[in-house]
């Protein structure tokens, strides 16, 4: 059954998140950066359950509940005795989990008087989801998409435009943030921090608002429908998760799946929860827990695990994992030891994803492929340690618009993208000077 309420994990976990800190004034009208009061109340609520508005839930019913499937052919292929289940979020118009919060945010912004939403997007899933949600609720939509992803995934922008959105490759000459990036950098591939800064800046028209996609606590809240459904589906199958695995971009996919599993909603105790990132952008495994800017505009700062807002990852096929930082809620989970982290290179990730597609008939998005690979590694680890674990992975979206990446892999042209130590060091050296910084201790 589709949940009637989102799950707020903060009261159960007893977490108090570090407050946001203001930086330099944003180059935009104050109105464009105002978050609807309804979303702010969700962010600060002490209630365990937040009712899903009926118009939002009605649209959820178009594709939810999403299936939780076992992957027996994949299990046989990798030779494991463990059981691997995947929660598939790719069966909607946007092709990913992003639509869960996009619909909610479009609904609340429309009620608050917005007419146009601006967003920044990496691989394009968030941009596509917001384009779809804006079309549902009668809003205009402008999407700043990381240039390297827009060029590598041309059908993502095509889908957004079909849904009525305007799509701009970032960095662009349209904004001061974009012009500065174009003037200062030899690498024009872009980053999510720059795309976000451009979307923030482009809110000067009346009733135009910037809409954040995956790091804000309320966006993680909206995604908890994933984990709530998964728990109910596992119980119906007579299963209990031993390991829950999800890829990490900014945190909404990961949080949506694992947060309900960290509560007492789960019988038999909490499973191990594992975050999977790319070696190209390894914020948990090689970053620092510190206050940092949430985008390249140098405005709001949050305490998070970060590689620095000026860090630009090397070219990679999982564009949705390019964000320099991590949601403050996910960062707190990792800091408190409630979450583990791994980083993998894209060749091993695509090897597992291609095998999964051949075995199970579902092509994972490059971001989701990281969770597929990590689930295989965890199943093999259980075998080596004499256990038969139940491993649940979040397959956050399909890869049907990422076939250029799979072609690059199949042709043998793909290389592993690994963040350069010197580039990370340079970006971390430019972090704001605030107390309370700590280096990440876990490296894989």
What are the φ/ψ torsions at residue 434 (nearest 5 degrees)?
A: -135, 155
Which of 217, 249, 271 lies at the terminal end of a domain, its last residue? Answer: 217
d(CA 95, CA 267): 31
- Output the pLDDT for position 377: 98
* CATH number of the domain encompassing residue 114: 3.40.50.1100
Residue 318 has pLDDT above 90, yes or no: no
| Higher pLDDT pick, 164 / 320 | 164
Buried b (16+ CB within 10 A) or exposed e, 91-120: ebbbbbbbbbbbbbbbbbbbeeebebbbbb
Show the tokens assigned to 374.
């990590």
Beta carbons within 8 Å of 390's beta carbon, 6+ residues apart: 82, 83, 85, 234, 239, 240, 241, 242, 243
Three state DSSP letters for the chain: CCCCEEECCHHHHCCCCCCCECCCCCCCCHHHHCCCHHHHHHHHCCCCEEECCHHHHHHHCCCCCCCEEECHHHHHHHCCCCEEEEEECCCCCCCECCHHHHHHHHHHHHHCCCCEEEEEECCCHHHHHHHHHHHHHCCEEEEEEEHHHHHHCCHHHHHHHHCCCEEEEECCCCCHHHHHHHHHCCCCCCCHHHHHHHHHHCCCCCCEEECCCCCCHHHHHHHCHHHHHHHHHHHHCCCCCCEEEEECCCCHHHHHHHHHHHCCCCCCCCCEEEEEEECCCCHHHHCEEEEEECCCCCCCEEEEEECCCCCCCCCCCCHHHCCCECCHHHHHHHHCCCCEEEEECHHHHHHHHHHHHHHHCCCECHHHHHHHHHHHHHHHHHHHCCCCCEEEEEECEECCCCHHHHHHHHCCCCCCCCCCHHHHHHHHHCCCCCCCCEECCCCC
Contact 21/301 with Cβ under 8 angstroms?
yes
Give the domain range for residue 111.
Answer: 5-56+97-217
d(CA 249, CA 335): 17
Residue 444 has pLDDT above 50, yes or no: no
**Do 132 and 260 belong to one domain?**
no
Contact 241/227 with Cβ under 8 angstroms?
no
In a domain, 122, yes or no: yes
- Output the pLDDT for position 443: 32
**Do 275 and 409 belong to one domain?**
yes
Query: Per-residue confidence at 113, pLDDT binned at 50, 70, 90?
Result: very high
Query: Per-residue confidence at 31, pLDDT binned at 50, 70, 90?
Result: low
**Do 89 and 102 belong to one domain?**
no
Task: Find the angle CA(333)-CA(337)-CA(338) to the nearest 5 degrees.
Answer: 55
d(CA 317, CA 123): 8
Specify the range with the lowest mean pLDDT, choosing from 51-55, 92-96, 285-289, 315-319. 315-319
Q: Chain centroid to CA 62: how far?
A: 22
Note the pLDDT tens digit of each residue in 130-155: 999 999 999 999 999 999 889 988 99
**Do 197 and 276 belong to one domain?**
no
Contact 258/103 with Cβ under 8 angstroms?
no
Mean pLDDT, to the nearest integer, of 432-438?
A: 64
In a domain, 309, yes or no: yes
**Do 426 and 345 belong to one domain?**
yes
- Residue matched to tokens 């976000």: 196
Show the tokens assigned to 350.
């695509």
Which value, in Å, is the radius of gyration of the alpha carbons in the chain?
Answer: 20
CA-wise closest residue to 145 among 190, 176, 183, 181? 190
pLDDT mean across residues, the chain: 92
Mean pLDDT, to the nearest integer, of 50-61?
A: 98
Mean pLDDT, to the nearest integer, of 180-192?
A: 81
**Do 106 and 83 belong to one domain?**
no
Within 13 Å of residue 117, how many CA atoms lie on the same side as its CB?
34
In a domain, 444, yes or no: no
| Most confidently predicted of 6-20, 244-258, 287-301 | 244-258
Mean pLDDT, to the nearest integer, of 408-413?
A: 96
**Do 350 and 427 belong to one domain?**
yes
- Residue matched to tokens 């180059």: 27
Residue 311 has pLDDT above 80, yes or no: yes
- Output the pLDDT for position 282: 98
Query: Per-residue confidence at 320, pLDDT binned at 50, 70, 90?
Result: confident
Q: Taken in order 229, 230, 232, 237, is the CA torsion positive or negative?
A: positive
In a domain, 347, yes or no: yes
CA dihedral of 112, 323, 50, 46, whole degrees rounded to 10? -110
- Output the pLDDT for position 258: 98
Which of 189, 217, 245 lies at the terminal end of a domain, its last residue? Answer: 217
- Residue matched to tokens 């701009």: 168
**Do 28 and 170 belong to one domain?**
yes
d(CA 66, CA 61): 10
**Do 286 and 389 belong to one domain?**
yes
Note the pLDDT tens digit of each residue in 218-268: 999 999 999 999 999 999 999 999 999 999 999 999 999 999 999 988 878
**Do 89 and 101 belong to one domain?**
no
In a domain, 361, yes or no: yes
Provide the number of structural domains found in the chain. 2
The model's pTM: 0.93
Which of 197, 217, 237 lies at the terminal end of a domain, its last residue? Answer: 217
Contact 300/22 with Cβ under 8 angstroms?
yes
Mean pLDDT, to the nearest integer, of 58-63?
A: 98
Mean pLDDT, to the nearest integer, of 28-48?
A: 83
């Amino acid at each position: 059954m589709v949940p009637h309420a989102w799950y707020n994990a903060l009261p159960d976990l007893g977490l108090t998140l570090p407050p946001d800190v203001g930086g330099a004034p944003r180059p935009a009208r104050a109105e464009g950066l105002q978050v609807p009061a309804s979303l702010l109340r969700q962010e600060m609520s002490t209630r365990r359950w937040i009712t899903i508005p009926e118009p939002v839930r009605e649209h959820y019913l178009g594709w939810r509940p999403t299936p939780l499937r076992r992957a027996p052919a994949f299990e046989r292929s990798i030779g494991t005795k463990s059981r691997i289940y995947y929660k598939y979020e790719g069966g909607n118009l946007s092709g990913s989990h992003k639509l869960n919060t996009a619909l909610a945010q479009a609904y609340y912004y429309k009620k608050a008087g917005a007419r146009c939403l601006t967003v920044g997007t990496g691989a394009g899933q968030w941009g596509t989801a917001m384009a779809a949600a804006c079309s549902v609720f009668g809003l205009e939509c402008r999407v700043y998409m990381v240039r390297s992803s827009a060029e590598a995934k041309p059908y993502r922008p095509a889908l957004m435009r079909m849904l009525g959105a305007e799509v701009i490759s970032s960095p662009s000459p349209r904004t001061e943030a974009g012009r500065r990036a174009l003037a200062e950098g030899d690498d024009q591939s872009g980053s999510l921090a720059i795309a976000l800064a451009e979307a923030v800046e482009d809110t000067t028209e009346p009733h135009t608002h910037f809409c954040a996609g995956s790091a804000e606590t309320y966006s993680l809240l909206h995604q908890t429908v994933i984990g709530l459904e998964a728990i109910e589906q596992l119980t119906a199958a007579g299963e209990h998760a031993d390991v829950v695995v999800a890829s990490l971009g900014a945190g909404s996919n990961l949080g949506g799946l694992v947060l309900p599993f960290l509560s007492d909603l789960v019988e038999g105790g909490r499973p191990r929860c594992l975050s999977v990132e790319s070696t190209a952008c390894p914020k948990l495994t090689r970053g620092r827990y510190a206050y940092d800017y949430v985008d390249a505009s140098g405005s709001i700062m949050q305490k998070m695990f970060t590689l620095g807002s000026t860090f630009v990852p090397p070219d990679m096929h999982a564009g949705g994992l390019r964000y320099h930082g991590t949601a403050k809620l996910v960062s707190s989970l990792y800091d408190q030891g409630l979450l583990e982290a791994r980083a993998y290179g894209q060749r091993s990730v695509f090897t597992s994803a291609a095998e999964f597609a051949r075995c199970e008939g579902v092509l994972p998005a490059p971001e989701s492929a990281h969770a597929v690979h990590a689930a295989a590694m965890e199943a093999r680890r259980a075998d080596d340690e004499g256990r038969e674990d139940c491993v649940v992975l979040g397959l956050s979206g399909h890869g049907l618009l990422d076939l250029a990446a799979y072609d690059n892999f199949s042709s043998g042209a793909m290389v592993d993208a690994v963040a350069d130590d010197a580039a990370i060091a340079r970006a971390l050296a430019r972090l704001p000077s605030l107390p309370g910084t700590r280096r990440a201790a876990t490296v894989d």
